[in-house]
Structure 1
Amino acid sequence: MSAFRVQVEASGSRGAAMVVARAFQLPLEEARRLLAEPRVLPRDLDEAEAGRLVEALRRQGVTCAAVPVVGRASAVCGRHPVLSAERPCEECRALVCVLCQGAEGRALCAGCAARRVRRTRAKWLRVSVLLGVLVGLVLWGVSRQRSRDRRLTWERPLEVAVVLLARGEVTPEVRGAWEKGVERLGDWAAREAGRYRVELGRPVRFVLAGPVSGGDFRFEPPEDTGWWARLRQAHRWSTALAAVDEEAGVSSRPWDARIYVVLEDAQEGGPRLVEGMAEAGGTMGLVRGVRGDTGLTLELTAVAHEFFHCLGAADAYDAEGHARVPEGLVEPGREPLYPQPAAEVMVGEVPLGEARGRLPESLEEVAVGPATARALRWTW
């Protein structure tokens, strides 16, 4: 028996869509899609069925005609079994009809279409979650930075915890020297701020804590200077220092900064090693000092140096450790320029001449130069 199909011109008539919906047992919206453009309707009919459909569509004003199907009958669509399949599904190759083709002409069976929708939803969910996390991190970072920047308004005294860490015994004499030392450091900060007319009697309050053992903490910069190595080192330090804070009793209150001083034995026959590092604009600094020292000039200078790093001040020495001109000088306009009267705190050396200097012998020989004062917003 011969099979026929109905060739139609496009029609937006609701009546024509209802005729096709009843004839093909389709939802009205899908029948409208079949009539949205000129086509041969994708269903094989016998001659009588085709004639009745043509007559009904013509009554609705649709230009149409029955055309014979050449060749074997077509396979049917798995999603619309009343319609003939015309293309394979792009993903599983199952045959699908024209209604299973998307707006871009892509053919998908019902199962693959549902999976694609689920994948798309999952993708956008992941993107939304990542965007939410990113926005949260940005807001947290902005809030944190604003909180740090408020330190430089100098509307209140800043509080700094100086935490001593030592593997071996710290004698009462050394502990007492540190107690007096942080007091001297507070006096020094008040003196230097006063030189720049900062109207806050004692701008920094240094509070001593420890000594504690330090647990697993090691003052060892990463050999690799890449960002991933620095990130891993920062994570290890953060974990170890959280335990240090608990042991030292400084974890229960907020601090404007915490400076950890790792006291180690001096190398026999070698130089006294005092060095440090700090997070620029951050809240944490590290200093390596000598366990048996009671003079503490170098250690206290390093504590002030790393704390000022936390407030945004930059190093003012060159690759050889000598003061850069003019930012590394306490009096850059001095005539003659050398010798300088004191060591700039972000250098730590009293300049005696070009590329020459000596270590300060007391805090009286350490001062804040104009460049550092501007970074601290003590002057403009």
Structure 2
Amino acid sequence: MKVFSFRNIRVIILLGILAAALIYTQEQKRNTTAWYKPITVIIFPINGDGKAATQEYITRLSTNDFTAIDHFFARSGREYQLTAKQPVVTQLGATIKEIPPVPPSSNNVIATIWWSLKLRYWAYKNTPDTLSNKARIRLYVLYHQANGSTPLAHSLGLQKGLIGVIHAYASKKQTQQNTVVMAHEILHTVGASDKYDAHNFPIFPTGYAEPEREPLHPQRYAEIMAGRIAISPHQAKMPDSLRKAKVGEKTAREINWIQ
């Protein structure tokens, strides 16, 4: 039996990469759930459909288009008496030309791990700089023209790597709803879980911003990790802006806002 066969060497290298990634991830988790100082969120726009109108929209973006995210986290943080008065500070990064790796269509664990490593390498390759990524979140926002017949791909946020991949509409009318999706994925990167069911309906009580409200419906706000406002037992709608969203108690516990 060859102890140092090519296959064994590949396995050892892969295990080494995974171990290094795990150690780095644990440092990121500690740095982003202490909440004694602001977390920087860098937003990198990407032309997701390759259209000229989308590129023109990206060219006109400014940091002001994302201030609603900062206001949402500041307001929510005050409700939980955080040390950091401004928990999140968004900045507009450079436009990225390359599309990130597409996540696997199945729930295969190995395929998901491999995709996660590829995404983190892609992020390293496409946003190289001298800043540490141990305490900042990178959102890669793929903008698309609105198409009524084709819904946007699912956005995601990874705690491992502090990376979010967002699919958004390249439209001024959608700017505020885009920030709702971004805030949701930012919270995924710091440990929050989804609070909606298989039909995208808020789960009671954790997916309700006001679970003790009487009458229960209609709710006035969306729990941010549910992403929708329950207006009846069987109907829900996406909030128009982050002014209609709140951080619920379970989410606050998951991200260490409640000890």
CA contact (8 A) 1:178 1:294 kept: no
Whether 1:220 aligns to 2:99 is no
Pick aligned residue for 1:186 from 67, 70, 81: 70
Which residues of 2 match residues 320-331 of structure 1 at below 5 A?
320-331=199-210
Q: Which residue number in structure 2 is paired with residue 198 of structure 1?
A: 82
In the alignment, structure 1 segments of 5+ residues that lack a partner are: 1-118
Q: Which residue number in structure 1 is paired with residue 229 of structure 2?
A: 350
Counterparts of 2:132 and 2:32, CA distance in 1: 13
Per the TM alignment, residue 239 of structure 1 is displaced from its structure 2 partner at its CA by 4.2
What is the DSSP-based 3-state SS (H/G/I as helix, E as strand, rest coil) of the residue aligned with 1:320? coil
Which deviates the most, 331-340 or 157-166? 331-340
Cα root mean square deviation, aligned: 3.2
Counterparts of 1:163 and 1:357, CA distance in 2: 30
CA contact (8 A) 1:275 1:289 kept: no
Q: Which residue number in structure 1 is paired with residue 138 of structure 2?
A: 258
Counterparts of 2:192 and 2:138, CA distance in 1: 16
Q: Which residue number in structure 1 is paired with residue 119 of structure 2?
A: 237
Q: Cα–Cα, structure 1 residues 331 and 141, in superposed 2: closer, same or farther, change >3 Å? A: same
Counterparts of 2:118 and 2:86, CA distance in 1: 35
Counterparts of 2:107 and 2:57, CA distance in 1: 39
CA contact (8 A) 1:278 1:306 kept: yes
CA contact (8 A) 1:178 1:296 kept: no
Counterparts of 1:283 and 1:188, CA distance in 2: 19
Q: Which residue number in structure 2 is paired with residue 69 of structure 1?
A: none
Which residues of 2 match residues 102-141 of structure 1 at below 5 A?
123=3, 138=19, 141=22
The one-letter amino acid of 1:318's match is D
Pick aligned residue for 2:244 from 362, 365, 368: 365
Per the TM alignment, residue 281 of structure 1 is displaced from its structure 2 partner at its CA by 5.0
Whether 1:210 aligns to 2:210 is no
Counterparts of 2:18 and 2:124, CA distance in 1: 21
Counterparts of 1:365 and 1:297, CA distance in 2: 11
Q: Cα–Cα, structure 1 residues 178 and 335, in superposed 2: closer, same or farther, change >3 Å? A: farther
* Stretches (4+) displaced over 6 A: 130-133
The one-letter amino acid of 1:148's match is K
Residue identity over aligned pairs, in percent, reads: 22
Which residues of 2 match residues 293-308 of structure 1 at below 5 A?
293-308=172-187
The one-letter amino acid of 1:149's match is R
Q: Which residue number in structure 1 is paired with residue 158 of structure 2?
A: 279
Q: Cα–Cα, structure 1 residues 208 and 135, in superposed 2: closer, same or farther, change >3 Å? A: closer
Whether 1:156 aligns to 2:27 is no
Q: Which has the higher contact order (CA 8 A, sep 6+)?
A: 2
Q: Cα–Cα, structure 1 residues 271 and 338, in superposed 2: closer, same or farther, change >3 Å? A: farther
Per the TM alignment, residue 347 of structure 1 is displaced from its structure 2 partner at its CA by 1.4
Q: Which residue number in structure 2 is paired with residue 168 of structure 1?
A: 51
Counterparts of 1:144 and 1:196, CA distance in 2: 26
The one-letter amino acid of 1:211's match is T
Per the TM alignment, residue 132 of structure 1 is displaced from its structure 2 partner at its CA by 10
Q: TM-score, normalised by structure 2?
A: 0.83
Would you say how many aligned residue pairs link Structure 1 and Structure 2? 253
Counterparts of 1:178 and 1:327, CA distance in 2: 34
In the alignment, structure 2 segments of 5+ residues that lack a partner are: none
Per the TM alignment, residue 225 of structure 1 is displaced from its structure 2 partner at its CA by 2.7
Q: Cα–Cα, structure 1 residues 131 and 230, in superposed 2: closer, same or farther, change >3 Å? A: closer
CA contact (8 A) 2:37 2:83 kept: no
Which deviates the most, 297-306 or 134-143? 134-143
The one-letter amino acid of 2:157's match is A
Q: TM-score, normalised by structure 1?
A: 0.58
What is the DSSP-based 3-state SS (H/G/I as helix, E as strand, rest coil) of the residue aligned with 2:141? strand
Q: Cα–Cα, structure 1 residues 265 and 366, in superposed 2: closer, same or farther, change >3 Å? A: same
Per the TM alignment, residue 123 of structure 1 is displaced from its structure 2 partner at its CA by 4.3
Counterparts of 2:164 and 2:83, CA distance in 1: 26
Which deviates the most, 165-174 or 285-294? 165-174
Q: Which residue number in structure 2 is paired with residue 378 of structure 1?
A: 257
The one-letter amino acid of 1:313's match is A
CA contact (8 A) 1:274 1:298 kept: no
Instruction: Output one character per residue of 1:68-90: Cα deviation in whole Å (capped at 9) or x when no partner.
Output: xxxxxxxxxxxxxxxxxxxxxxx
Counterparts of 2:29 and 2:229, CA distance in 1: 31
Counterparts of 2:16 and 2:75, CA distance in 1: 43
Counterparts of 1:149 and 1:291, CA distance in 2: 35
Counterparts of 1:243 and 1:207, CA distance in 2: 20
Per the TM alignment, residue 208 of structure 1 is displaced from its structure 2 partner at its CA by 1.0
CA contact (8 A) 1:174 1:293 kept: no
Instruction: Output one character per residue of 1:52-83: Cα deviation in whole Å (capped at 9) or x when no partner.
Output: xxxxxxxxxxxxxxxxxxxxxxxxxxxxxxxx
Counterparts of 1:222 and 1:370, CA distance in 2: 32
Bigger Rg, which one: 1
